[in-house]
Amino acid sequence: MSSIESQVTPKTLSHPYRWDWIAAILLIGMMQSLGGRLTATEWVNNIEITLILSFWGCVAGLVLGISNFSSLGVLFFSSVYGLFTISRQLGLILGSGIEWAERLVSLWGRYKVSIHAIINQESVTDPLLFLTIVSMIVWVVSVYTGVALVRQRRVWRVVLPGAIGIMVINTYSYQDDISARFLAFYIFLILFLVARLYYLDRREDWQQMRISVPFHISFDLLIGAVLTSALLVIVAWNTPTAVKEFTSAEETWDRIITPFKSATDRLDNVFAALKSSVGFVRVGGVKGYYGDDIQLGLGIPQTDDLIFTIEVPNILTTEPRYYWRARYYDSYQDGRWTNAKIKTQMMRPDEFDISLTTYNAPWEANIKVTTHIPLSTLYAPSQPNWVSRPVELEVNPTQDDFFEIVAMHATPPLMVGEVYEVQVSRSDITIKDLREAGVNYPVWVTNKYLQIPESVGERTKILAEQITSNADTPFDKATAITEYLRDHIEYLDTVSEPPEDVEPIEWMLFDSQQGFCNYYATAEVMMLRSLGIPARFSVGYSQGETSLESAERPALGGNIGEIPGDFMETTGDKIVYFVRANNLHSWPEVFFPAYGWIEFEPTANQRPLLRPLDDEDLDLSSADSEGQGASTDDRFGLDDQLFESEFNIPEDTDSFIGRPDSPIYSFGAFIVVIGLAAVLWWGMRKVRGLPPISIMIEKKLQKSDIPAPYLLQKWARWSSLSAMERAYHSINRSLMFLGETQEPAASPSMRAKSLASQLPSSSDVILELLMEYQNWLYGGQLANVRLSRKLARSIEKQAILEKIRRIFSRST
Amino acid sequence: MSTVQEFSNLLIDNIEKVIIGKRSSVRLIVMGLLSKGHILIEDVPGVGKTMLARSLARSLKCSFNRLQFTPDMLPSDVTGVSIFNQITREFEFRPGPVMSQIVLADEINRATPKTQSALLEAMQEGQVTVDGITHKLPSPFMIMATQNPIEYEGTFPLPEAQLDRFLLRVTLGYPGKRDEVRVLDSQDHHHPLNDLGSVVSVDELLQVQEEVKSIYVAPAVKDYIVDIVRQTRIHQDVYLGGSPRSSLTLFQVGKVRAAMEGREYVLPDDIKAIVEPALVHRIIISPAARLRDLKPERVLEEILGQVPVPGGDLFKKAV
């Protein structure tokens, strides 16, 4: 790619550059004020990246301007570099220490969600799309002005884009003094730059006329320019503004935009992230944040909105089901769970150095979570070891310098569509293991997890002892309590408020005998603790349904949103769980020495949590990997009826494009990219007068002495034809189609007459088209393209019909 | 309907009352008239060349003269002489036969080159110079010269440079059988020429000649004209191709033809129609081709079949 530019315009050769470093610095300053103005709007978080982008864009523009690249080359390199820089900056806002692949995946996920929202005419809550668009505009403007400063001789091309930018920003975000300050600064720089460039221009002339300019004069001129610019700006700012004119201008503007109201309404959706901006983007607006206390509450019915999808490697075939834990609590008092002595610690994925208490857990697995709502607290199945996001960890000290993770809060929070990974340790625990675990509890466990408030009295303890009278081991006791709660407490979405002076748990156990998961779990924890078995209260989501099940199993009815995921046999290497708002759950976790915290399921609307009896069971089930549900059900004594009645698949009412992760989005993105490229190409053609792509390819081939393929030649020829010629070509095409070849020397009228004799029925149409074409081509008259196209279509249609007619008449 | 079309139709219809069945030739002659050019009629005797010229003159109410060329004719026999007037004691110019609006120069190739050139100067300059005094020829001025293509004995064939000055070369040819019968019928009692009245005036003619100039010629058509003429220059069987004046002729006559068709612009078809009369007398066939008895008409036909029409076949690039 040679520098065609400079060869074509000898003027540029004689004065290669009409700029100097002062002009370049002024330009950078101008672009910085554009970025600064944007930052000052505080439209979205992280908008300050525009400052960085405007700087590097400007530098890139200047460098590309100096380079020998043709405009096409400049465009190419600035786009590539811009793409790189913008994605880098956007990736960086996700926080430090994350792997780059993950950053890109997260950004991509967020884009998909935003585009999905736009398509469905919903509000886009994620500011990312806006930030991206703004970044791109800033990048384009700063690169363009950089190139323009070096290569163009017109100052307005350098100063106008940024000025328009600042004006537009001021229109949308009018902050009295900030707007004025940035605009004033920008205009000052403009004046200064104009003065500088004018001086440089003069200097060239002086040099040509052999007038020597001493250095101090140029310095004086510089100072003069600064002072004049400053003076002008100050004078302009202090001139009283005619307020009346502004109001009338506003009215005019209103009149202009009224017809576009519907279009702007739709656009508003795209930028909804801004309107709700300041509050939403910050942590407070993000759902799913569990603080350090929780009330048992009265219950709120939940929707079936998707919260997140979780991808789990399918290696734990006999694992009991997953509980997506947000956090756990250790202290209970009057219907309120809290944590005692929590430490917080910031963690980055690449420096995740914290000593965690480990248990007998041979499996390590990476679990991938895709968010469908903004998330602050990250969810993970039990024993997370590492997470791929920077997080604020809440930890409980155990012993020596070891800790247990209470909760993980992502900083910054995750937006919709982002992805995080959690590494967890799991084990195949059997009932036999748990029975043999013993009661040798460490001190840190007994210190913290046997706490019972005084308000929970003897009654509960007696009830617990009654229930567990036949049980020997802690596991059997926990199982007995679980069974008791499942059998005796009625599940209700919402409960009425317990009386003032009554402990809510006792009231539930002995009086109302109704409740939801929080009550079940708290009751179990309290009863276990009263028996000296350490237990704690965990919150989060239950497993949700899997992609596999919803695809393979028929809906069986029933009303409870849980699917048997236990002992699932799958053929794929991954299982995807869809977790919805109505999977919100809480459950007790019981401590077993060497095995750690084990979940139990006392809530009646959930399926019972079943574990394999012993190692034999484990072997059996893994050997029987082809086995059907029935055999495993039998083995574990699962009641078929229970199974069926609780087995429910929420109907997938989403449309084809309903899910942001459906392939149509990737395809759509591809189309959008192609479309953008086409628009870009078209624009370049218009601006630079480039020939159509086919002709460019043909020329390239010709240059390298490769004969262009016939089809390419035809394409090139076709793309160089005008609309009228294309319409007229229908006559030639029809002639060819009807098997009549014409010499190149045949004039259009000869061809038309020949076709008219072949198609007597449409001879009028043919002659009309001929007239249009001749009037245009030979008569120099304006073409009626629309009419001609219509005529051409009709002719071609007639030709095809005629051809068909001939085929049939020949065969009969 | 444009006035040019009206005018030419009136004229042609009128002439056709006398010259039966030769509409295309008559049209060509009218084209020559409207292009302010001169016509070379090449044909055997007795097909109505003189009648054609006379009926044209009558239809226009123009002055008409006939010049029968013989080898002993002198230039002054064409242009006129200055005679000493005894009474006024001055030389007086006696105009020759060329000093009329329509001149029929019969068998032009029988005159000596000297006499021929006197006529040709008049054709080209629109004036004659006798004894150093220049006399302007009347307007409109049109010469219709005839040549006999059969008899060459005792003739002085016109040099190419002079043939080039004739705008069109027209042949009449024998009439068809029916037409010939109609000729007999029409002359049963008296010659129809005697009944022929004028249908258009000289003023109208001049006006129409101006009007023709406004006809539009698209760049594509100009290209086509030049393509054709250039092709005559590189054709292997052609010894001497068309001059730029040939291109100019196609350009002018093309405009006239378009106007006569009632069109405001020239089509390639107009050019195609006039290539033969406009070029056939201007190209010289190479000796080898002449031995094969190749006629220039045939060469032009071949060229017309080769040169692509711009805007015709869009997928073939022009030569």
What is the average pLDDT across A519-548? 86
Residue A231 has pLDDT above 50, yes or no: yes
The answer to whether residue A779 neighbours chain B at the CB level (below 8 Å) is yes
Q: Do A732 and B307 touch (CB under 8 A)?
A: no
Banded pLDDT at A268 (limits 50, 70, 90): low
ipTM value of the model? 0.86
Give the pLDDT confidence of A576-613 residue by residue, as tens digits: 888 888 888 889 999 988 888 888 888 888 888 877 77
CA-closest candidate to residue A313, choices A205, A402, A421, A403: A421
Pick the residue of A778, A781, A788 with the most B CBs within 10 A to test the interface with B by mutation.
Answer: A778
| CA of B317 vs chain A CAs: smallest distance (Å) | 9
CA dihedral B258, B264, B269, B275 (to 10 degrees): 40
Cα B317 from Cα B319, distance rounded (Å): 7
Whether B314 and A729 lie within 8 Å, measured CB to CB: yes
Per DSSP, what are the bridge partners of residue A584? A541
Does residue B140 have a cis bond before it (omega within 30 degrees)? yes
- Structure tokens of B105? 């120069």
Cβ A746–B312 below 8 Å, yes or no? yes
Q: Which amino acid is at A576?
A: V
Taking CB atoms and an 8 Å limit, are A780 and B265 in contact across chains? yes
Residue numbers in B near A721 (CB within 8 A): 314
**Residue-wise DSSP of A126-183:** -THHHHHHHHHHHHHHHHHHHHHHHH-S-HHHHHHHHHHHHHHHHHHS--HHHHHHHH
H or E element: which one contains A610? Answer: none
Tell me which residue of A311, A372, A307 sits closest to A113, measured CA to CA.
Answer: A372
Contact A547, A578 (CB under 8 A): yes
pLDDT recorded at residue B316: 65
A305 with A384: CB under 8 angstroms? no
pLDDT confidence of residue B254? 94
Q: Nearest CB to A778: which of B220, B306, B307? A: B220
Contacts A782 to B, Cβ<8 Å: none
Among candidates B304, B306, B315 on the partner chain, residue whose Cβ is nearest the Cβ of A717: B315
- C-alpha–C-alpha distance, residues B164 and B168, integer Å: 9
CA–CA dist B318, B303 (Å, integer): 14
Subunit contact A717:B314, Cβ cutoff 8 A:
yes
**Torsion angle defined by CA atoms of residues A34, A39, A40 and A42, in that order, rounded to the nearest 10 degrees:** 140
What is the C-alpha to C-alpha distance for residues A521 and A517, in angstroms, rounded to an integer?
6
Q: How far apart are CA A91 and CA B120, in angstroms?
A: 91
Q: Are A747 and B216 within 8 A, CB to CB?
A: no
Hey, are the CB atoms on A748 and B266 less than 8 Å from each other? Answer: no
Residue ranges of chain B with per-residue pLDDT less than 70: 1-2, 316-319
- The Cα–Cα gap between A340 and A352 comes to 24
What does residue A18 show for φ and ψ, rounded to 5 degrees? -115, 50
| For residues A324-337, average pLDDT | 86
Distance CA B41, CA B173 (A): 10
How far are the Cα atoms of A789, B172, B267 from residue A725, in angstroms, in the given order? Answer: 10, 40, 16
CA distance, residue B39 to nearest chain A CA (Å): 28
Say if CB B77 and CB B96 are below 8 A apart: yes
Strand, coil or helix: what is A485? helix
Q: Does the structure show a pLDDT above 70 at A224?
A: yes
CB pairs under 8 A between A and B: 69
Q: Does the beta-carbon distance from A780 to B216 stay under 8 Å?
A: yes
Q: Which two tokens stand for residue A480?
A: 């007995």
Q: Does A748 touch chain B (CB under 8 A)?
A: yes
pLDDT 10s digits, A66-84:
888 888 888 888 899 999 9
Q: Out of A448-462, A550-564, B14-28, B176-190, which region has the weakest mean confidence (pLDDT)?
A: A550-564
**Is 70 exceeded by the pLDDT of residue A673?**
yes
Q: Does A630 touch chain B (CB under 8 A)?
A: no
Contact B313 A717 (CB under 8 A): no
Interface test with A, best of B315, B316, B319 (most A CBs within 10 A): B315
The tens digit of pLDDT for each residue in A744-801 reads 888 899 999 999 998 888 889 999 999 999 998 898 888 888 899 899 999 999 898 8
d(CA A48, CA B160): 87
What is the predicted pLDDT for the residue at A390? 84
Q: Of the given ranges (A29-33, A314-318, B37-41, B243-247), which has the lowest mean pLDDT?
A: A314-318
Tell me whether A259 touches chain B (CB under 8 Å).
Answer: no
Question: Does B307 contact chain A (CB < 8 Å)?
Answer: yes
Contact indicator for A70, A1 with CB cutoff of 8 Å: yes
Does the distance separating the beta carbons of A777 and B312 come in below 8 Å? no
Q: Which of residues 709-728 of A touch B (CB under 8 A)?
A: 714, 717, 721, 725, 728
B33: which 2 tokens?
């008239």
Q: What is the DSSP letter of A575?
A: E
Q: Select from B264, B268, B305 the Cβ nearest to the Cβ of A743.
A: B305
Please tell me which of the candidates B218, B309, B311 has its beta carbon nearest to residue A780: B218
Residue A124 pLDDT greater than 60, yes or no: yes
Q: Order of strands, edge to edge, in the sheet holding A574-580?
A: A384-387, A419-426, A363-371, A306-313, A574-580, A545-546
Residues of A in contact with B313 (CB under 8 A): 732, 742, 744, 746
The tens digit of pLDDT for each residue in A607-661 reads 888 777 776 655 554 444 443 333 333 334 333 333 333 333 344 434 444 444 5
Residues of B in contact with A772 (CB under 8 A): none
Task: Please give the full DSSP string across B44-63, using - where no structure is assigned.
Answer: -TTSSHHHHHHHHHHHHT--
Which pLDDT score, from 0 to 100, does residue A248 have? 57
Q: How far apart are CA A27 and CA A141, in angstroms?
A: 11
- On chain A, the residues whose CB falls within 8 A of the CB of B264 are 779
Question: Measuring CA to CA, which residue among A410, A317, A421 is closest to residue A369?
Answer: A421
Q: What is the pTM of this model?
A: 0.46
CA-nearest residue to B271 within chain A is: A747
In chain A, what residues touch B311 (CB-CB under 8 Å)? 725, 728, 748, 773, 777-778
Task: Quote the distance between the C-alpha of residue A373 and its chain's center.
Answer: 11
Q: Are strands B142-147 and B102-106 parallel, antiparallel or unpaired?
A: parallel
Q: Chain B contact for A745, CB < 8 A?
A: yes
- Which amino acid, one-letter code, is at B235? H
Which of chain B's residues have a Cβ under 8 Å away from the Cβ of A774? 265, 267
Chain A interface includes B218 (CB < 8 A): yes
CA gap B226, B268 in Å, rounded: 12
Q: How confident is the model at residue A194 (pLDDT cuts 50, 70, 90)?
A: confident
Q: How far apart are CA A157 and CA B35, in angstroms?
A: 56
**How far is the alpha carbon of B266 from chain A, nearest alpha carbon, in Å?**
7
Among B266, B267, B312, the residue with its CB nearest the CB of A744 is B312
DSSP letter assigned to residue A339: -
Q: Are the C-beta atoms of residues A766 and A752 closer than 8 Å to each other?
A: yes
- pLDDT recorded at residue B232: 92
User: Cα distance from A738 to chain B (closest Cα, Å)?
Assistant: 16
Q: What is the largest CA-CA distance in chain A?
A: 113
Q: How far apart are CA A204 and CA A194, in angstroms?
A: 15
* A58-62, A356-360, A728-732: range with lowest mean pLDDT: A356-360
User: Cβ separation of B268 and A748 shorter than 8 Å?
Assistant: yes
Burial of residue A739 (CB within 10 Å: 0-12, 13-18, 19+) is exposed
Q: B residues 242-281 near A, CB within 8 Å?
A: 263-269, 272
Round to whole Å and give the CA distance between A197 and A201.
Answer: 6
Side chain identity, residue A647: F
Q: Cβ–Cβ of A749/B269 closer than 8 Å? A: yes
CB A481 within 8 A of CB A524: yes
Mean pLDDT across the stretch A172-195? 79
Q: Which of B263, B267, B306 sits opposite A747 (nearest CB)?
A: B267
Q: Which residue of B has its CA nearest to A744?
A: B308
In B, which residues are within 8 Å of A775 by CB distance?
Answer: 265
**How does pLDDT run across A369-408, given as a tens digit for each residue?**
888 887 788 888 888 888 888 888 888 888 778 888 888 8
Mean pLDDT for chain A? 76
Per-residue pLDDT band for A127 (boundaries 50, 70, 90) equals: confident
CA atoms of B156 and A17, how far apart (whole Å): 75
SS3 A598: strand
Q: How far apart are the CA of B217 and the nearest CA of chain A, in angstroms? A: 7
More confident residue, A7 or A586: A586
Q: Phi/psi at B124 (nearest 5 deg)?
A: -75, -45
Q: Is A305 helix (H, G, I), strand (E, B) or coil?
A: coil
Work out the angle between the directed axes of helices A71-92 and A128-151 (0-180°, nearest 10): 150
Main-chain dihedrals φ then ψ at residue A468, nearest 5 degrees:
-100, 20
Tallying the residues shown for chain A, one arrives at 812
Closest chain B residue to A751, measured at CA = B312
Nearest to A617 by CA among A632, A601, A639, A628: A632
Distance, in Å, from the CA atom of B186 to the CA atom of B209, rounded to the nearest integer, reads 32
CB A600 within 8 A of CB A474: no
Task: Give the integer Cα–Cα distance in Å for A2 and A13.
Answer: 14
Average pLDDT of A680-688? 70
| Max CA separation in chain B (angstroms) | 78
Strands A596-599 and B80-85: unpaired
Side chain identity at residue A377, one-letter code? T
Flag if B312 and A729 touch (Cβ within 8 Å). Answer: no
Q: Which chain B residue's Cα is nearest to A742? A: B313
- Chain A residue closest to B309 (CA)? A745
Interchain contact, B313 vs A746, CB within 8 Å:
yes
